[in-house]
């Protein structure tokens, strides 16, 4: 006896087993991903992030973070980045680029990313004005954002510097840098 409501050739018991297995698999995927909510706040920031080309052309300063989901420093800095993004919304673009996404390989090379988190800082014309390497506290990120929004010099913080187009690559490297770069996934 064949029924038009089920899979061909499967009895009621087999369909029930398949539904149970599918339900268990769906529950396992949700559990492994941390539930229905995205990983807060790094994943939420990345999902709201505008495209880099759009951000650099819209007349607002831009703060770009190169990050990875597995990077503890990036995850530690994420709540402060979220605070900057929400506090400066409409005045500053915050763009997140995952170093593990092959789509961003040209940007990794262009900006000589050799460790994460790495921030690239742009003025409202889309010109590079500086770089920050390493984890930043909320006050430091707010100071960087305020300098960008008010078109003021960047604060003097360890690991923050201007970039020079003469130092290497289109975006250059930190002023005074050596130009020798390791891969962005090389830190532990």
pLDDT surpasses 60 at 35 = no
The overall average pLDDT reported for the chain is 82
In a domain, 187, yes or no: no
Share of the chain above pLDDT 90, in %: 57
Domain count across the chain? 2
Does one domain contain both 47 and 121? yes
Distance (Å, whole) CA 87 – CA 20: 46
Estimate the share of the chain in helix, then strand, then coil, as percent rounded to the nearest 5: 40, 15, 45
pLDDT score for 125:
96
pLDDT surpasses 70 at 172 = no
pLDDT score for 43:
86
Does one domain contain both 21 and 113? no
Does one domain contain both 21 and 76? no
Distance (Å, whole) CA 73 – CA 166: 30
71 counts as catalytic: yes
Distance (Å, whole) CA 99 – CA 151: 28
pLDDT surpasses 90 at 62 = yes
pLDDT surpasses 70 at 48 = yes
In a domain, 96, yes or no: yes
Pick from 74-78, 156-160, 177-181: least confident:
177-181
Does one domain contain both 27 and 109? no
Q: How many CA atoms are closer than 13 Å to the CA of 65, on its beta-carbon side?
A: 29
Q: C-alpha distances in angstroms, 38 versus 48, 74, 95, 98?
A: 12, 16, 18, 16
Does one domain contain both 32 and 125? no
Distance (Å, whole) CA 170 – CA 167: 9
Q: Within 10 Å of residue 19's Cβ, how many Cβ atoms?
A: 10
Distance (Å, whole) CA 159 – CA 82: 21
Range of the domain at 153: 42-174
pLDDT score for 158:
83
79 counts as catalytic: no
Quick one: which of 88, 91, 68 has its CA closest to 78? 68
Does one domain contain both 52 and 30? no
Residues 115 and 108: beta-carbon distance below 8 Å: no
Q: From the candidates 42, 46, 68, 71, give the one annotated as an active-site residue.
A: 71
Kind of pairing between the strands at 93-98 and 62-67: parallel
pLDDT surpasses 60 at 164 = no
Question: Whats the size of the chain, residue-wise?
Answer: 188
The DSSP letter of residue 39 is S
Does one domain contain both 32 and 78? no
Q: From the candidates 74, 97, 99, 112, give the one annotated as an active-site residue.
A: 74
pLDDT surpasses 90 at 143 = yes
CATH number reported for the structural domain that contains residue 81 in this entry: 3.40.30.10
């Amino acid at each position: 006896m064949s029924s038009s409501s089920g899979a061909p050739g499967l009895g009621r018991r087999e369909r029930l087993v398949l539904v149970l297995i599918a339900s268990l698999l769906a529950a396992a995927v949700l559990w492994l991903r941390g539930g229905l909510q995205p990983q807060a706040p790094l994943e939420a920031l990345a999902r709201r992030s505008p495209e880099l080309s759009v951000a650099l052309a819209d007349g607002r300063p831009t703060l770009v973070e190169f990050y990875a989901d597995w990077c503890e420093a990036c995850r530690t800095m994420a709540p402060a980045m979220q605070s900057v993004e929400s506090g400066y919304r409409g005045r500053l673009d915050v763009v997140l680029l995952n170093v593990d996404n092959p789509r961003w390989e040209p940007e990794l090379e262009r900006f000589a990313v050799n460790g994460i988190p790495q921030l690239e800082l742009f003025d409202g014309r889309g010109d590079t004005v500086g770089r920050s390497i390493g984890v930043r506290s909320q006050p430091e990120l707010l100071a960087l954002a305020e300098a960008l929004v008010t078109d003021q010099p960047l604060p003097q913080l360890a690991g923050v510097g201007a970039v020079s187009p003469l130092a290497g690559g289109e975006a250059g490297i930190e002023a005074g840098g050596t130009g020798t770069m390791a891969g962005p996934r090389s830190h532990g």
